[in-house]
Structure 1
Amino acid sequence: MKKKTNNMMRLGAGFIVAGAALNAFAQQTTQVQMYGLVGAYVAKSERSGGPAAVTQLGHGGLTTSYWGVRGSEDMGSGYKAIFALESFFQTDTGGLGRNAVDGLFARNAFVGVDSRFGRLTFGRQTNPTYINMGTLSPFGVSVVFSPLVLQSFVGTYNGALIGDTVWNNTIQYATPRVGGLAGNIIYGLGEVPGSSGRANLGLHANYVNGNFSAAFSAQRFRVPVTAPLAQQNAYLLGATYDFKAVKVYGSLAKTDSSGVSSNTRTHDVGVRVPITQSGALLAEWAHTKRERAGLPDNKRNTASIGYDHFLSKRTDVYAVYSRDKQTGFESADTIGFGVRHTF
């Protein structure tokens, strides 16, 4: 009986050890993480040529609010299966997406493989032109306060780029970073019957070396087609340098469209000046000239100045003043205050 009891104890201990080992193995090979950002701002907003000023509580601000789940599984030999599902939301109303058109996972929804040879992903993915643009603006990817982003992606500011900040039906390959240089190519299938060439294409690169960084994007946008536009080619080139006392930003962008004579040229400069260990002054100016056949050229100047202060590692507050002026209209002002928290 004693021998039988000892055997049962050893067997039980073996199951415990095996279970612990399997659990540890699972933790090492599979990882799932929930994360996101919650932001809100209060602003009195008006744009040149737009409706009268409105005071509003807005969602996002310096960064559009979102939450997401991402994961990876170690498949051995340096390969990992990866995925990400990210959803925009509206802090002011609790609504889904940035607007009524957005789906559940409108920010990103992709699956793929990561390795030492690079990363290959499939699904709805953020446009790398927008990501590069965020690195070239002291206001980041803000669709509310960044002059470069406003004049490029926001329709009410005569957005120069056709298409969204996120592309559907994409295949993307991103290279590993070598000597500070990394690049990617993204292809968005048009899924138009009988027209396999109806697709979006982007080629992108960024370089980081100490205090210097640079970014380049070239994209061809064809889907969806808005008549009479057939295709738009867009290019972005810019660089930053951190002198410690001040970080400077500069970029140039252009678009050429076929099917309609409407081309744009954008110049943008900005600075970030640390004021304290936790806060910095931000300033940026963008100018876009739009050439249109049969119509006078349209010129738009947008400038923002603000202060961003971190209360902790994950929470910051900010204040921004913007002035906007376009051809044929009076200038307009926006002033806003906001808070954001990452998790």
Structure 2
Amino acid sequence: MFAKKNVVAAAALMAMAAAAQAEVKIYGYLDAAFGSYESFTFNGAGAITTERSTQVSSGNMMTSFIGFAGSEDLGGGLKAEFALESFLATDTGGEVRNMAGGFWGRASWVGLSGGFGRVILGQYDNAFFTLGYTYNPFGSSMVFSPSMVSWYSFSLDPTAFGADANLGYDTGWVNSITYETPNLGGFTAALQFAPKESSGGNEGNKNNYAVSGAYNAGPLSVMAVYTNSGANTNSTAYIARQKNWGLGASYDFGVLKLQGQYAQIKTFDAVSGDEDSKAKFFQIGATVPVTPAGNLLFSYGETKNEFAGVSGEEKLKQFSIGYDHSISKRTGAYVAFSNKKIDSDFVAIDDDSANIFAVGVRHSF
């Protein structure tokens, strides 16, 4: 009996020691808003209509999600890490934006970190998404951020208006391996690779590559990104290769923080390799503290699209203004307005505009 008690005590001590070395947390972000939302509808015969609805919606400032993350100290400066994150709709309780139907559609990765930097395997944010949410006042908002709307949720292609985004991939890359350097005097860099992993006809699923570099020093932050991709994360369709690059910068003057972005997105024909389309995007914004707990947000972005074999160009212009107030460290409220306008030279697309106004609450945990 005494020996059994010793064994139980030793096992308990070992479990306590393991728990001390490992950390697991549950976290997330919930966002819900009430407002008036206008959206574009293309009827396929050369006309755009604007449809308006009043609704309670989820994820206006950032898409709601729940996540689990953990780490374990392996000794010698080496650490194991993981994260599992799932998008959710605060208004309905359903799943949203989970790529390819995966429950852990926001993130699912495991990796090792140490003095060498960090190596991550699984689904992980791609560098273009990081550039997008870091250098605009509305962050990763798929409603009010001009870069997020242009890159991930809207297209001006006259043959498939509004059906696809300018970027041919989602915010994260599945089946990827990512290496992030340690911070070297404010400089960091990352390499990302997502292999083809398929054969037998799905030519759209090709190798993806990304390289990025950033510098952060006090109030200054800059970032550059290049991606070369051929994967279609929304379907198994045969799609062309994209070659994209972008720049982002911000400077915090104290009385305001200026943020800017520029990007070019080029799509090439899957068979001939010729350039099919080119999108040029810029965004300039500012965050202005007006109270110790409140910020005014301003952002203007413009996307110019050109298509091979089609005369003229078209532009998507978006202006957003908002006020975000922190009620506590984890809870806040916001009010925001955005106007999207289409200016087109194409016969197939008429000019039109759409407005969005919303009042919302956000909570992180």
Q: Same fold (TM over 0.5)?
A: yes
Q: Which residue pairs with 1:285 in the alignment? A: 300
Distance 1:125 1:66 in 2: 15
Q: Give 1:14 shift.
A: 7.6
Q: Which residue pairs with 1:335 in the alignment? A: 357
Matching residue's letter, 1:301: K
Matching residue's letter, 1:341: H
Q: Which residue pairs with 1:147 in the alignment? A: 146
Q: Give 1:57 shift.
A: 1.3
CA RMSD of aligned residues (A): 2.4
Q: Give 1:15 shift.
A: 7.5
What SS is found at the alignment partner of 2:150? helix
Unaligned 5+ segments in structure 1 are 1-7
The within-5 A match list for 1:209-220 is 209-220=217-228
The within-5 A match list for 1:217-232 is 217-224=225-232, 229-232=239-242
Distance 2:131 2:339 in 1: 24
1:97 has 2:112 as partner:
no
What SS is found at the alignment partner of 2:17? helix
Distance 1:301 1:132 in 2: 20
Q: Give 1:152 shift.
A: 1.4
Distance 2:190 2:355 in 1: 38
Q: Which residue pairs with 2:209 in the alignment? A: 201
Distance 2:81 2:102 in 1: 21
Q: Which residue pairs with 1:4 in the alignment? A: none
The within-5 A match list for 1:33-72 is 33-47=25-39, 49=48, 51-72=50-71
Deviation sequence 1:31-55 (CA, Å, 0-9, x none): 1111111111122111454541111
Deviation sequence 1:53-74 (CA, Å, 0-9, x none): 1112111111111111111111
Deviation sequence 1:158-181 (CA, Å, 0-9, x none): 532111112111111111111111
Judged with a 3 Å threshold, the aligned counterparts in structure 2 of structure 1 residues 270 and 226 are, in CA distance, closer, same or farther, namely farther
How many matched pairs? 334
Distance 1:100 1:265 in 2: 26
Distance 2:52 2:89 in 1: 21
Unaligned 5+ segments in structure 2 are 41-47, 157-161, 270-274, 344-349
Deviation sequence 1:85-141 (CA, Å, 0-9, x none): 111111111112336953210000111111110111111112221122111110001
What SS is found at the alignment partner of 2:335? strand
1:308 has 2:330 as partner:
no
Judged with a 3 Å threshold, the aligned counterparts in structure 2 of structure 1 residues 288 and 156 are, in CA distance, closer, same or farther, namely closer
Q: Which residue pairs with 2:250 in the alignment? A: 240
The 8 Å contact of residues 229 and 257 in structure 1, kept in 2 or not, is answered as no
1:187 has 2:193 as partner:
yes
Q: Which residue pairs with 2:81 in the alignment? A: 82
Deviation sequence 1:183-220 (CA, Å, 0-9, x none): 11111112122789921111112211000101111111
Deviation sequence 1:2-39 (CA, Å, 0-9, x none): xxxxxx7xx99988985675354223311111111111
1:25 has 2:17 as partner:
yes
Q: Which residue pairs with 1:5 in the alignment? A: none
